[in-house]
């Protein structure tokens, strides 16, 4: 099968969508399929093109058997609504323009967010004359409405109509949570059209490093209990909760808070940290993916947080699965389906979102009971191995792609 995948994010970018797309595509090529990914020059989230790449109209490369076509986009940091919208639309147009040069495809996949990349499938499937599968990793525009990024009622209505158009036109829809499927069915999308393929973890990559203690020492954290947040510093995460918890923990000299990543809120959070004089909080820039197992191995608790919102009860942050894969106990400040997974796995402590005092209390509990942390970590690794192995999930999605192609050929 010839698979054409449009994705705004792709390695060497290290965010969750880039990892999911790459790990799925890598498995499909290993299973004998031809995969082409259309993406842009890597620049997320800083808005600076990575070293060794150019923001050019059309470039080709190959990674792990995946054919990659990189196209031009309006490069900008992951902040500011207008500039980000220009970034999204420019990539959509560039990716569509290059499609005639990419040969035959049996199926087109587009992934959302970003929203316009998802919508590109409407045109891409017509150009390639093949079925279209829409992958939805976040509900847009609902997620940006929830954090207040869009407030104009007219713009919201327009985006909601485009959202429904995408669901109607797609030959199949793949979502990452059961709650997303329930939401779409409530909108009138046929249940049989929707498949749930949740996020997972590459268990061959996320393995405890033998050099974890040395790496911890290199960060100046030797002998400390380290509670860490890895990932996007964005509006959806309400990371000031971590800084407020650090204030409660200031008197414990053996506890350190590590925050690693970038995003629209990072500079504001740095300023808050300085104003609060939080010497127990270390904030590092986004790190290359190959360093992540070392960083995970340096921490004693994983912090996974989102804002308090009805919408975010439907979300499952991918950090949950990586934490479990690394045998790292989770402190989860997310309600809904995420909490159900962590509780079912017995892999962490669930707290109310945006509750700094409860966050500090959970960190103290794990610091005071190291055996509890080890037990929760081992439970998590066992749980993801049985339920969220990325190889198994990639093949599950491949089954949906194959079924969609077969059904389209019968029509």
Residue 191 has pLDDT above 80, yes or no: yes
Q: Report the pLDDT value the prediction gives residue 316, as an integer from 0 to 100.
A: 93
Q: Report the pLDDT value the prediction gives residue 239, as an integer from 0 to 100.
A: 96
β 66-71/58-63 pair status: antiparallel
Q: Report the pLDDT value the prediction gives residue 289, as an integer from 0 to 100.
A: 87
Cβ atoms within 10 A of the Cβ of 279, count? 11
Asked whether 400 and 346 are in contact (CB, 8 A), the reply is: no
Mean pLDDT (the chain, rounded): 93
Instruction: Read off the pLDDT band of 411 (50, 70, 90).
Output: low
pLDDT digits (tens, 9 = 90+) for 95-137: 999 999 999 999 999 999 888 899 999 999 999 999 999 999 9
Residue 253 has pLDDT above 90, yes or no: yes
Cβ atoms within 10 A of the Cβ of 399, count? 11
pLDDT digits (tens, 9 = 90+) for 309-336: 888 899 999 999 999 999 999 999 999 9
**Tokens 């971590």 — which residue?**
242
Could you list the beta-strand ranges (E) of 324-365: 330-333, 348-350
How far apart, in whole angstroms, are the C-alpha atoms of residue 88 and residue 8?
A: 8
Instruction: Read off the pLDDT band of 147 (50, 70, 90).
Output: low
Asked whether 368 and 390 are in contact (CB, 8 A), the reply is: no
pTM over 0.85: yes
DSSP, collapsed to helix, strand or coil, labels residue 253 as coil
How far apart, in whole angstroms, are the C-alpha atoms of residue 372 and residue 362?
A: 12
How far apart, in whole angstroms, are the C-alpha atoms of residue 344 and residue 336?
A: 12
In whole angstroms, how far apart are CA 123 and each of 106, 108, 239, 373? 15, 10, 38, 50
What the chain holds in terms of domains, given with CATH numbers, is 2-199+389-410 (3.40.50.2000), 212-387 (3.40.50.2000)
Element (H, E) at 61: strand 58-63
| 280 exposure class (CB count in 10 Å sphere: 0-12, 13-18, 19+) | buried
pLDDT digits (tens, 9 = 90+) for 36-60: 999 999 998 888 999 999 999 999 9
Q: Report the pLDDT value the prediction gives residue 403, as an integer from 0 to 100.
A: 95
**Tokens 């990639």 — which residue?**
394
Phi, psi of 48 (to 5 degrees): -120, 125
pLDDT digits (tens, 9 = 90+) for 355-392: 999 999 999 999 999 999 999 999 999 999 999 999 99
Q: CA geometry: angle at 281 spanning 275 and 286, to 5°?
A: 105
Percentage of residues in the chain having pLDDT higher than 70:
98
| 308 exposure class (CB count in 10 Å sphere: 0-12, 13-18, 19+) | middle
When comparing pLDDT for 107 and 209, which is higher?
107
Asked whether 258 and 226 are in contact (CB, 8 A), the reply is: yes
């Amino acid at each position: 099968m010839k698979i054409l995948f449009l994705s705004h994010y792709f390695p060497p970018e290290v965010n969750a969508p880039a990892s999911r797309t790459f790990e799925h595509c890598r498995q499909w090529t290993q299973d004998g399929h031809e995969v082409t990914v259309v993406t842009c020059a890597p620049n997320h989230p800083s808005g600076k093109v990575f070293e060794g790449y150019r923001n050019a109209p059309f470039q080709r490369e190959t990674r792990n058997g995946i054919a990659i076509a990189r196209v031009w986009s309006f490069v900008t940091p992951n902040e500011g609504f207008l500039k980000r919208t220009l970034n999204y639309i420019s990539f959509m147009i560039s990716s569509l323009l290059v499609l005639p040069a990419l040969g035959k495809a049996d199926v087109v996949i587009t992934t959302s967010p970003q929203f316009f990349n998802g919508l590109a499938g409407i045109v891409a499937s017509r150009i390639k004359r093949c079925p279209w599968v829409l992958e939805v990793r976040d509900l847009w525009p609902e997620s940006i409405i929830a954090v207040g990024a869009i407030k104009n009622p007219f713009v919201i209505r327009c985006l909601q109509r485009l959202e429904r158009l995408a669901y109607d036109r797609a030959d199949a829809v793949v979502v990452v949570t059961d709650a997303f499927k329930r939401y779409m069915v409530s909108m009138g999308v046929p249940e049989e059209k929707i498949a749930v393929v949740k996020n997972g973890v590459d268990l061959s990559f996320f393995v405890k490093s033998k050099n974890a203690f040395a790496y911890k020492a290199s960060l100046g954290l030797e002998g400390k209990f380290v509670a860490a947040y890895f990932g996007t510093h964005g509006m959806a995460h309400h990371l000031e909760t971590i800084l407020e918890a650090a204030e409660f923990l200031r008197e414990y000299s053996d506890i350190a808070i590590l925050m690693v990543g970038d995003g629209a809120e990072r500079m504001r959070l740095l300023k808050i940290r300085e104003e609060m004089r939080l010497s127990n909080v270390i904030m590092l820039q986004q790190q290359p993916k190959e360093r992540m197992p070392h960083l995970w191995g340096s921490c004693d608790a994983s912090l996974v947080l989102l804002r308090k919102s009805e919408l975010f009860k439907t979300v499952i942050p991918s950090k949950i699965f990586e934490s479990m894969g690394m045998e790292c106990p989770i402190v989860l400040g997310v309600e809904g389906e995420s909490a159900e997974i962590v509780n079912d796995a017995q892999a962490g402590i669930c707290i109310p979102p945006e509750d700094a005092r409860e966050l500090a209390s959970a960190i103290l509990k794990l610091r005071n009971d190291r055996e509890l942390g080890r037990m929760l970590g081992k439970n998590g690794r066992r749980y993801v191995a049985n339920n969220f192995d990325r190889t198994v999930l990639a093949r599950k999605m491949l089954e949906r792609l194959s079924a969609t192609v077969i059904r389209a050929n019968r029509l």
